[in-house]
Amino acid sequence: MSTLLQELSTNQEAMKTWRHHMHRHPEVAFDEHKTASYIARLLREWGYEVTEGVGKTGVVARMRCGDSKKSIGLRADTDALAVQEANDSDHKSTIEGKSHTCGHDGHSAMLLGAAQHLARTRAFNGTVNLIFQPAEEIMGGAVAMIQDGLFERFPMDAVFGMHNMPALEQGKMYFTSGPLFAAVDNWEIVLTGVGSHGSMPEKSIDPVVAGASLVMALQTIVSRNVAAKDSAVVSVGAFLAGDAGNVIPQTATLRLSTRTSKPETRQLVLAKIKSITAAQAEAFGVRYEIREGSPGAVLVNDPALTEECADIARKLLGEDQVVMPGPTYMGSEDFAFFAQLKPSTYCIIGNGDTAMVHHPKYDFDDDNLPVGAAYWVALTQHHLK
């Protein structure tokens, strides 16, 4: 065990205290007011220049040491999920229907552990910006902070993030160059025809039949347009039409979720959704409206920076505790919007044999707290020499 990891391990109980407090008091997207205040209070006690309300409920803490103009950002997410926790731990959620079943409480506690150590030792030269970001679960917090001037108000040369992942060996760190998490785009298609009595379909223009055909046609996008070596998903998760079996409705609504692992694949898939919808609507004589959700983004790691970060982790934890390349995921992460604007590396820390994130019985493994905190300190000391 490295000396730095040993030092951070002696502070594990404090990190557990912070995490368990946040776990007991979960707040969902853009409602993280008490969580933000709790984090901000700790950071101010340690001497950070703290700005609250960045991107509604985000917190940015800045500390400068030495004379270097170098500056980096370390990001943790703070929001919980609208999930009823099924665990019975001493730190279980006290809020009905809300829980930290994705581990953002752990992410924040790891960054707080690093923050306290960095403030105490001041063993870096430059500026470190600690970004406690809201609303990751709805893919809204990163964009909100960017639109609120994150990178103009707090200049930084590169940004780094981390997420835990069940089913990967506890405490190991995983690094992947290039695309890591997929882009998600949630769209809605509304088909409008002419309603009629169910006994007189000839008087109608049936949006249900048009919608049923459209659902099947959309399934050809991945199977017949996306190369087998690439990854994409087009799912119609909701088909909303009508209320009675003897009435042909006026409208039908399809709700889609797409996942794409490359920016160019995303553009292809979204373009095909538009062209297929237009062709199907014309074929069935219905009108259509496509309501696009917030634009998605593939999380792409900077290759050189990612190799550098993996090497930092190897020196900290040992060769056998670092995996590169690590796995890629069809899930999404709004850190992708930071990575579009700044050189970035987002890594994974294994959470061991636990329930999967978003499952009611998921919980973050507290043994990861010193590991993640030590990585953040080592990374800061490396980039701000």
Average pLDDT over residues 108-120: 98
Q: Angle 53-297-362 (CA atoms, 0-180°, nearest 5)?
A: 70
Helices (H), 157-239: 207-218, 220-225
Is the pLDDT assigned to residue 139 strictly greater than 70?
Answer: yes
Q: What percent of the chain has pLDDT over 70?
A: 100
* pLDDT band for position 356 (cuts 50, 70, 90): very high
Q: Quote the mean pLDDT of the chain.
A: 97
Average pLDDT over residues 101-121: 98
Is the pLDDT assigned to residue 177 strictly greater than 70?
Answer: yes
Is the pLDDT assigned to residue 1 strictly greater than 90?
Answer: no
Distance of CA 98 to the CA centre of its chain: 18
Prediction pTM value:
0.91
pLDDT tens digits for range 217-250: 999 999 999 999 999 999 999 999 999 999 999 9
d(CA 207, CA 251): 6
- In the CATH scheme, what is the code of domain 183-292? 3.30.70.360
CA dihedral (231, 292, 135, 89) in degrees, to 10, reads: -60
Residue ranges covered by each domain of the chain: 3-181+298-383, 183-292
d(CA 129, CA 156): 8
Whether 348 contacts 173, CB under 8 Å: yes
Is 137 annotated as belonging to a binding site? yes
Average pLDDT over residues 263-283: 97
Q: Tell me the CATH architecture of domain 3-181+298-383.
A: 3-Layer(aba) Sandwich (3.40)
Is 102 annotated as belonging to a binding site? yes
Average pLDDT over residues 7-35: 98
Average pLDDT over residues 366-380: 98
Predicted pLDDT of residue 43: 98
Predicted pLDDT of residue 2: 85
Q: What share of the chain is helix, strand, coil (3-state, %, to 5)?
A: 35, 25, 35
Is 65 annotated as belonging to a binding site? no
d(CA 106, CA 76): 9
d(CA 212, CA 214): 5
